[in-house]
Structure 1
């Protein structure tokens, strides 16, 4: 019986060695020598903002009863924008306009004349009678949904339209 066991032990050892070698060879088949490389890059979209001109005026109307801020602005060269891409805002409103401004205000843009647009922010009747301040702005909306920074002008006037001032914010 010992003779039968020795060949059987030898067969088991041979089978074990074969399995060990098989397991080792499959473990060394890993793709660590792969030469494929990937690269990538990204760029952030920057939406150019409108360039405000030197013209910024606040016309108070008779005794401040019908104030309007007028600004001029240009499209940066090569940006591809027009007034159709522009968004407008009025903020920082004080005085009687807080109550009536959203009901009576209007915004109109004309141009370009020589590459310059003119936008008038009208406040409506009686909105400046008590004086006040406000900021107006224009920015561009890109087709992706991104927007530029606001280009802004600040305006103020005293009681009954006294001392009207308008300043372009750099």
Structure 2
């Protein structure tokens, strides 16, 4: 009789401890959603004896031990991940200084990667680095940015003089990235960093990827 009492007591303690741990995990999940700000739906957690459910923009799932499944039993939509534009190979970036370096133009050659099939230049935005951060710019600003080609090979040209003064001896970093038209989610930037010396001497241009 005494053995059954202690057995039932231990079982009750284990059950209550599991519920406490699950509730604590759910609270942490909600707090993380608040930290994430606009990426999450505030207060989107519920607790059961077997697990907890968390819903947020870009994620929906329910946890039970080490298993995860949908809160409503339906398949979750995959988290959207956009690949950056693919740098061209010959060459990826070219700086043309113009006469005495007074009209520098930077052309970035790029393509739509296979995983972004269906995207075109219409689903991109361009930017310029200012104070260490790439900031989007108006593509049609005084005709300072132009793009020609097709998804297999685009060439986007930036007129540095119109965008940043174009002074001799200056360096510039421009960027191109994809933007999903429905969610507004953006890929990393494909960047072109160009520089030249006085009167347009020693022009250089290199590409990179910036998140």
Tell me which interval the TM-score lies in, with the shorter structure as reference length: 0.5 to 0.7
How many residues in Structure 1 have an aligned counterpart in Structure 2?
125
Q: How does 1:6-155 map to 2 (within 5 A)?
A: 39=73, 41-54=76-89, 55=91, 56-79=93-116, 80-92=118-130, 106-112=144-150, 115-124=152-161, 127-143=165-181, 144-155=183-194
- The 8 Å contact of residues 129 and 161 in structure 1, kept in 2 or not, is answered as no
Aligned partners of 1:111 and 1:117 also within 8 Å = yes
Match of residue 53 from structure 2: none
Partner of 1:7: none
Aligned pairs for 1:155-170 (under 5 A) are 155-169=194-208
- 8 Å CA contact retained: 1:92, 1:134: no
For residues 31-79 of structure 1, give each alpha carbon's deviation from its aligned partner in whole angstroms, at most 9, with x where no partner exists.
Answer: x9xxxx9545452110121101132110110111000001111001252
Give RMSD over aligned pairs: 2.7
If asked which structure has higher relative contact order (CA below 8 Å, sep 6+), I would say: 1
* Separation (CA, whole Å) in 2 of partners of 1:38 and 1:161: 63
Bigger Rg, structure 1 or 2: 1
Partner of 1:4: none
Structure 1: runs of 5+ lacking an equivalent? 1-31, 94-102
Structure 2 unaligned spans of 5+: 1-48, 50-70, 132-140
